[in-house]
Amino acid sequence: MPQPDLTLTPAGPALAPRYRDRPAVLPRHRDRHRPAALPRNPYLRLFTHPGTRAFTAGNLIARLPMGMFGVSAVIMIAAAYGSYALAGAVTATGLAVGSVTGPLIARLVDRYGQARIAVPATAYAVLGHLVLLLCVHEKAPAWALFLTTAVTATTPNTGGMSRARWAHLFRDDPDALHTANAFEQAADELCYMIGPVLAAVLCSALFPEAGTLTAAALFLGGVLVFAAQRSTEPPVAPRTTAGSPLRAPGMAPLLAVFLATGAVFGSMEVVTLAYVDSPVAGPVLALQAAGSCAAGLLYGRARRTARLRTCLAAMTVLMAMPLLAASTGFLHALAVGLLLAGMATAPTMVTGMGLVQRLTPAAQLNEGMTLAVTALLAGIATGSATGGWAADHAPFASFGFLIPVTAAAVALTLCATTGVGRRAAR
């Protein structure tokens, strides 16, 4: 093998000119230091960001009990007191108090940080659930149940905190943020599909308090895991004098749209349960959440977000499918109708929540999203009451399914007349 020519320089031997002109060849083993190519799947790309897998896992564990606490409380109270009316009134009280305290907790989260507020708020809420369990087990007076369920209203908005992290991480990447919002909506649907079923199984297979105990352990453990992921936590913004996010332009009419949309969900649940009136009502109703979950995942792969008005128009049309199916009298037709109706839910919620993120100042993001959830819950309560009335006084069996269609049409009208939906377009 020939040796390279060397020339003598003041600094010592050096390569001859013809060798100096050749490009250097780096060792092949250095190629492994090149950054890996990002996955083509937009959902997989979300989790290539450091810390996203850990905070998502903790948040999902904490979010699953949100679909368990209500069912567990109803089963637990009804088994001890023999009254579903009392059980429903107690859970409704917790929901009503939570609609007041939720935005206040979210405001503290924005001001002092997620970990600093979410952990003690969750601990108080879990304590409230455990005290309620003891009161029910000892058959305390009814007033004690109403009093203790109010303590559970310190529950932080775990879904909102997760969305706030995505909004912080992808504040300069609207496509990735759209995919993240779609993932969060699909996760909501999945938790509300699995949670009630898991609670019912635990309460029936073990003992009536098993659902509450399991939900409390999952909730506290999940929040602790979520809060420990400090690298992805949004920084605390300087204290603002802007007041409530309700003052943001377009926020009030958007919350009105959320209120009407919540009435769609609440009325559909009650009228379906009343129409089916059998043990298969739960699985049939779960098809609506399944359709929403699937549509949300597909919508998240889209490169653009649809207008909110377009999503609400699709919801109005698809909510008529259960009405048409119920008029046939066939349960299988209703199941298909609910599956189709659910396909408009996730795209509407993803677009609406994305609009909330745009309208709300960054320093008040948790509070803004909690206000949207509060409007939804108020709408669900209103829709449930209206659907229950229709189930008892309807002139024919399928009459109640007119209410979700009407509520969707009201939401569409509010969106179109106020022009708030145009803010969602890119």
| 33 C-beta neighbours (distance < 10 Å), count | 6
Select from 1.20.1250.20, 3.40.1400.10, 3.40.50.300, 3.10.450.50 the CATH code of 243-426. 1.20.1250.20
User: What is the rounded CA–CA span in Å between residue 138 and residue 287?
Assistant: 38
Single-letter code of the amino acid located at 24: A
User: What is the rounded CA–CA span in Å between residue 121 and residue 221?
Assistant: 13
Domain boundaries defined on the chain: 52-235, 243-426
pLDDT digits (tens, 9 = 90+) for 326-369: 888 788 888 888 889 888 888 888 888 888 878 877 777 777 77
Which residues on adjacent β-strands are paired with residue 14? 7
Which residues on adjacent β-strands are paired with residue 12? 9
- The two most distant CA atoms of the chain are separated, in Å, by 107
Single-letter code of the amino acid located at 377: L
Same fold, 52-235 and 243-426: yes
Q: Are 149 and 219 in contact (CB under 8 A)?
A: no
The residues, any chain, with a CB within 8 Å of residue 205's CB and separated by 6 or more, are none
Which residues on adjacent β-strands are paired with residue 7? 14
Q: List the one residue out of 338, 348, 266, 228 whose CA is nearest residue 299.
A: 348
The residues, any chain, with a CB within 8 Å of residue 130's CB and separated by 6 or more, are 212, 216
The residues, any chain, with a CB within 8 Å of residue 2's CB and separated by 6 or more, are none
The residues, any chain, with a CB within 8 Å of residue 211's CB and separated by 6 or more, are 68, 71, 72, 75, 76, 198, 199, 200, 202, 203
Average pLDDT for 313-331: 88
Instruction: Identify the top-confidence range among 14-18, 243-247, 337-341.
Output: 337-341
Per-residue tokens: 169: 């991480």
User: What is the rounded CA–CA span in Å between residue 211 and residue 6?
Assistant: 82
Percentage of the chain lying above the pLDDT 90 cut = 10
Angle in degrees, CA 221, 134, 136, rounded to 5 = 120
pLDDT digits (tens, 9 = 90+) for 370-398: 888 888 878 877 777 777 777 767 666 67
Q: Please indicate, yes or no, whether the overall pTM of this predicted structure exceeds 0.75.
A: no
Q: Are 338 and 322 in contact (CB under 8 A)?
A: yes
Q: List the one residue out of 404, 179, 414 whose CA is nearest residue 309.
A: 414
pLDDT for res 318:
92
pLDDT for res 134:
92
How much is the mean pLDDT over the chain? 79
Backbone angles phi, psi at 343, to 5 degrees: -70, -15
Percentage of the chain lying above the pLDDT 70 cut = 83
pLDDT confidence band for 149 (50 / 70 / 90): confident
pLDDT digits (tens, 9 = 90+) for 220-233: 999 999 988 888 88
pLDDT digits (tens, 9 = 90+) for 190-205: 887 777 778 878 887 8
User: What is the rounded CA–CA span in Å between residue 318 and residue 202?
Assistant: 34
Name which CATH class applies to 52-235: mainly alpha
pLDDT beyond 60 at 26: no
Taken in order 286, 288, 293, 294, is the CA torsion positive or negative? positive
Q: Are 257 and 415 in contact (CB under 8 A)?
A: yes
Average pLDDT for 253-271: 85
Single-letter code of the amino acid located at 140: A
pLDDT for res 15:
47
